[in-house]
Chain A
Amino acid sequence: MAGIPKTQQVSQVERGSVDRSGWSRQPDCRRQPTSRRRTWSWRLAGLTCLLMLLNGGGAVAERLDELPLDRWKELREVERYQLNIAEKYYREKNWKVALAEYEKFLTLYERSVGAPYGQLKWSLCQVQLRKLNTAIKEGFQSVIDYWPESPEAIAAAYYIGQSYKDMGEVRKAKTAYQAVLDEHPQHLAAALAAVDFVDLTMIDDDIKKRLELWKLLTFEMPRTRESQRACETASRSLAAYDFEFAAFDEGVAALATTYSEPQLPTQVVSVVRAPLGRLVADDKRRLQGEKLADQTAAWLQAQAPAAGTTDEAKQAARQHGYLVADVRTAAREAEQVAETYEQILSKLGNDDETLGRYAAWLRSNSQFAEARRQYARFTDAIEGQRLIGDSFRQEQNYDAAISAYQANLARDVENGARWHEQIAATYRSAKKYNEAIAVYEQLLKSDPQQTEKWLWATATTYRDAGKYKEAIGYYRQCNNFPNNYSEMAACHRAMKDYQEAIILYGQIVGGAPNSAAWAMLQIGHTQEQAGNKELAIKAFQQVCKSYPKASYASQAHAHLQNKYKITVTLGGGTDK
């Protein structure tokens, strides 16, 4: 069999690891007692039934790289055992070991029902090890040649296309995908092939083929748990294309294949927004955009729920109104947006959500005063006041924002910490650091449960204020190593206290392996700032030598070459 060296075939025999009953004598797995085996079989049978029920009675594996449960059942105990070992390493992404285990399985159980599956997974391991040519020629093609009737042969045909695509062999990939689509049009592999093929049509802008594939996925492909996502994406793409080229009804029909009646209007609006935005932004196609907006709004009106007096009916009507407003917003029809919100409010009464949406739209159009007028109408006065404060902050009217938050502080005493935090944040935005620090210090006393948060905020505020000593004092009290150490080191550097900074970076190197490369690079820069040229060079070289795979090694290497004209950077590595 292709891909299986003979040395591997004898290796099992050499070690004498196969006995009479066919149990592999692996060091970590001794022969199991019969009772345990039976229990395991029962568990497997139970699991099979459960999964069959979940799948609606179908026993077909949904994923291409999984063995169906009914075929697992057909395997002998020893085969199952070996395959499980290989699967374990495959799941752990230990590709080299998994490859060897699949190879062992194929060597030992060449005539097993699981052999095509083993060969397929062997090939997938080769793909992961970036040996795509080997995977195609010795793996996937072998599955097709030796087990042409197996389900894995269809999967292998798809994977050949995918491997060619990953290698940049566009023409071969297209041929392979087309073969899957022609020969197994209802299979999951065909759905995946169609998705990949669509991606290939993007390269040469073959819109005709793309449309054909989208239609295939949308209207003809059977929807299973695995293919659902591909079909859904295709239907949305097809709808977006139809909307952009004045085929509104076709677009809705495409979406209707995926979404049922209650979700459909929401999905139509979510898809129509992007093409609508593009159309109205283009002066030549603006009229087309306006027409699309009118068409969508009219369609939404036709889909509007029957008027009612119950809360549910009102809520449904509001949601519908929001969709119309969203369409008008996307079409940049400001007057109609305002009109729509006013209609919702007048017909269905004041509602915080409607007011909030209306005000958010006003804020996005820089109509802050009008937005605040809407917030003032909130039933939940505290939330309205918060939003008023936020709008003042957005406008950079910090005093007014603080007044708004302070009004909430008086109203909502229980959540005092929340409003104090907002006030402190506003002071920081206004660069009134002393006032912000005073508020944080008050929070440290009044809200001990969040001490860590307030310590960090106080330290950061001191740092922003340029009071590095005080900042270091607060950072030192924080427990979020190594972030606090890096901030402390930065403060020391700002104070030109380089030795302290280097000590702190050194502690990061020793105590936080994930940040070690960065910290070592910072040691280099700090030594450079301190004027210790030789020590800086050593530190940069250390980054290249100790962490050659890190992106910081790249920075250190370039810095050594550009600043010091040193070519011996001591880095170098491999992608192993």
Chain B
Amino acid sequence: MSAFDCVIVGGGIVGAALADVLSADGVSVALVEARSIGAGTTACGMGHLVAMDDNAAELALTSWSVSLWRELADGLPRTVEYDACGTLWLAADDEEMAAVSAKVANYRAAGVRVEVLDSAALYEAEPALAPGLVGALRVVDDAVLYPPLAARTFALRAQARGARLMTGCPVRELRPGSVVLSNGDVLTARHIVLAAGVASPSLCPGLPISPRKGHLLITRRGAPVVHHQLVELGYLKSAHGTDGASVAFNAQPRVTGQLLLGSSRQPGDATREVDAALLERMLKRAAMFLPGLDGLQALRVWTGLRPATPDGLPLLGPHPEKPWLWLACGHEGLGITTATGSARLVADQLLGRTSAIDARPYSPARFLTASSRETAHA
């Protein structure tokens, strides 16, 4: 039996970032991962670091997290492919362009640098785009990176400070003060943090997390690259529809000279197979924005499962009914972006420190009330 101050269950980017932060504070940590570091949802995502302003809580966490990433960037290996390319939110019509001014106010109030591009400036910045777009909002400090190696970098840094890295170790059960592995070994811990993404409810029944499947496609090297991460403003409509499958245009230049294309959402779908009909919808949508798309060479298509919560915000903090259990899960499509901020918020709470932002909007207590517990136990 091994004893730790903190056992983190789940070696995705959130768990790995937390191991990094805690180990830097001298906490003895074990990071327990069923398969490999950063190989689950972390490996399936686009790797965007984006400030999002759907609501104040989301903007606070994402903008702070993006700035934390920027501070880390110089210390990341080149292979993490951190690229501060910025995001262009594309307005297809005047209605979408009108919405941009409200977003500008939101972002600036949060200290996020933004610029409004008119049509001419947009086409100067991104000549490959289809004609007819009316403008764009540029979020200057947004970036992209390669998530599996970012997660691995965090985990190896923690390991270098003495944290124990346990990969290929599925967990059977979480108990007050101990984590039971599938092989029967028991790790004792003052604190246990559940950071297992879509797998979290299997270890803590009743968590309001459900899979939301997505598809991505990456081209071969040498694709005519775009220069920013490109997202349609219509994305916001499709991203928030919780019923039925939806697609939205999202494209990223990678430092490898590849183009990464998304996106799709299928709520409640936990299968791994590529859905040909949805892929077709996604590609059709993308081709509307990038007319030369059909001629590019596709190298791979894959799917991933976002751990979605009902309000789109993660669960960060103590489990209201299990004081020995901390939650760091439910990040949906923003786990890469908010890994840095999430790790700080959980570490600060765990160590009794004040955080740079208010942690209350992400408190698991907003869902895990007495009544929801009844439902979970039913």
Partners in one complex: no
